[in-house]
């Protein structure tokens, strides 16, 4: 069955970026000139997804507005004769069909996904976490969907992480069945330091079967007193096949200050106009004595 819908949880407070997130949702922070969430939605579209379900919270309506038509802005650009920007702006409102739902209580990622159930229904769907930005030879989600289309089973994106970082992630235990493809036996959310069952972490891309909703609905609170998606996947792995794919490419954790800056530098260096000037600035800046 074709995967048509993606759920993007965007209800978090963004406390790691306060005070900036006091009024601006972190999902709208720019990667050069496109919001983080634009980059993630572009990956979804490039992977063949047609419908977006945003899970938002109070104070986050600017995200919905971003994907809406802005007639005032469009007529301003038209009057100015800025055809190129008019075209870019118009494309944003046409890139994907958008629906949204509110997560009324901050009960965790699993709960956020559960909030989207009535909009997803009984079909397989993708989940993309907007903090994780991927850059690689092909879209990360497309790499997962390729496995889903030949197996029909749940697939998550995996990345090898250093031991001292494992406590920040969902960590898997599994068996490699093909190069880079793991059959998952169990998953644990944010294992205590020194207890991780492997060095393979779940990153922010998932293709899920709708059974996950029933598991989320009936499960108790997990790590941090929240309803964890990882716990539902761990239960699912007991009754059905769950795969993990070590994706090809680089992930930037844009939910972290340094990761966000690195992502920006990466995208700016790839820009024909900005790239050479930024590289020059960095070389000059690094050769100078610290101020």
Spatial distance between the Cα atoms of 77 and 87, rounded to a whole number of angstroms: 10
Nearer to ligand G1P, 74 or 256 (CB): 256
Q: Does 134 bind ligand G1P (CB under 6 A)?
A: no
Q: Tokens 């009535």, residue?
A: 118
Nearer to ligand G1P, 92 or 133 (CB): 133
Q: Does 132 bind ligand G1P (CB under 6 A)?
A: yes
Q: Does 109 bind ligand G1P (CB under 6 A)?
A: yes
Q: Does 155 bind ligand G1P (CB under 6 A)?
A: no
Residue from 21, 47, 100, 230 touching ligand G1P (CB under 6 A): that is: 230
Q: Containing H/E element for 287?
A: helix 274-287
Q: Which stretch binds ligand G1P (CB under 6 A): 69-77, 120-128, 227-235, 238-246?
A: 227-235
Write the DSSP assignment of 73-93 as a string of letters.
HHHHHHHHT-HHHHHHHHHHH
Q: Does 47 bind ligand G1P (CB under 6 A)?
A: no
What are residue 9's phi and psi, to 5 degrees?
A: -75, 125
Map the footprint of ligand G1P across residues 158-197, applying CB under 6 A: 169-170, 189
Which residues make Cβ contacts (< 8 Å) with residue 175, sequence separation at least 6? 182, 183, 185
Residue from 36, 53, 57, 201 touching ligand G1P (CB under 6 A): that is: 201
Q: How far is the CB of 109 from ligand G1P (least distance, A)?
A: 5
Q: How far is the CB of 255 from ligand G1P (least distance, A)?
A: 6
Q: Does 222 bind ligand G1P (CB under 6 A)?
A: no
Spatial distance between the Cα atoms of 164 and 129, rounded to a whole number of angstroms: 22
Q: Does 234 bind ligand G1P (CB under 6 A)?
A: no
Beta strands in the chain (DSSP E): 5-9, 30-31, 34-35, 51-56, 97-102, 125-128, 132-135, 154-160, 170-178, 181-189, 200-208, 242-246, 250-253
Residue from 129, 145, 147, 268 touching ligand G1P (CB under 6 A): that is: 129
Helix axes 257-270, 274-287, angle to 10 degrees: 130
Q: Does 237 bind ligand G1P (CB under 6 A)?
A: no
**C-alpha 196: how far from chain center:** 23
Residue from 47, 154, 203, 234 touching ligand G1P (CB under 6 A): that is: 203
- Kind of pairing between the strands at 30-31 and 34-35: antiparallel
- Quick one: DSSP state of residue 212? H
Reading the block at residue 87, the tokens are 């075209």
Q: Which stretch binds ligand G1P (CB under 6 A): 20-28, 73-81, 115-123, 228-236?
A: 228-236
Q: Which stretch binds ligand G1P (CB under 6 A): 51-59, 175-183, 225-233, 259-267?
A: 225-233
Nearer to ligand G1P, 92 or 166 (CB): 166
Binding site for ligand G1P (CB under 6 A): 109, 129, 131-132, 169-170, 189, 201-204, 228-230
């Amino acid at each position: 069955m074709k995967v048509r819908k993606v759920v993007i949880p965007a209800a978090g407070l963004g406390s790691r970026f306060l005070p900036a997130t006091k009024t601006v949702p972190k999902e709208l922070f720019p990667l050069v000139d496109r919001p983080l969430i634009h980059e993630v939605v572009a990956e979804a579209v490039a992977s063949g997804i047609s419908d977006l379900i945003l899970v938002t919270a109070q104070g986050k309506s600017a995200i919905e507005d971003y994907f809406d038509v802005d007639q005032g802005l469009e007529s301003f650009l038209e009057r100015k004769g800025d055809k190129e920007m008019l075209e870019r702006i118009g494309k944003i409102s046409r890139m994907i069909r958008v629906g949204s739902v509110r997560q009324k209580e901050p009960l965790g990622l699993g709960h956020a996904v559960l909030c989207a159930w009535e909009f997803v229904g009984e079909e397989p769907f993708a989940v993309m976490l907007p903090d994780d930005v991927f850059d690689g030879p092909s879209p990360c989600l497309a790499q997962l969907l390729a496995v889903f289309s030949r197996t029909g089973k749940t697939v998550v994106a995996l990345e090898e992480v250093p031991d001292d970082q494992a406590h920040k992630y969902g960590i898997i235990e599994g068996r490699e069945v093909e190069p880079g493809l793991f059959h998952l036996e169990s998953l644990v959310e944010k294992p205590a330091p020194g207890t991780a069952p492997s060095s393979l972490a779940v990153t922010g891309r998932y293709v899920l079967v709708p059974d996950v909703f029933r598991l989320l609905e009936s499960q108790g609170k997990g790590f941090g007193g929240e309803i964890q998606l990882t716990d539902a996947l761990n239960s699912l792995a007991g009754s059905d096949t769950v795969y993990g794919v070590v994706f090809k490419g680089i992930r930037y954790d844009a939910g972290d200050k340094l990761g966000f800056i690195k992502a920006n530098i990466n995208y700016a260096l790839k820009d024909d106009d900005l790239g050479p000037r930024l590289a020059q600035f960095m070389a000059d800046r690094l050769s100078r004595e610290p101020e």
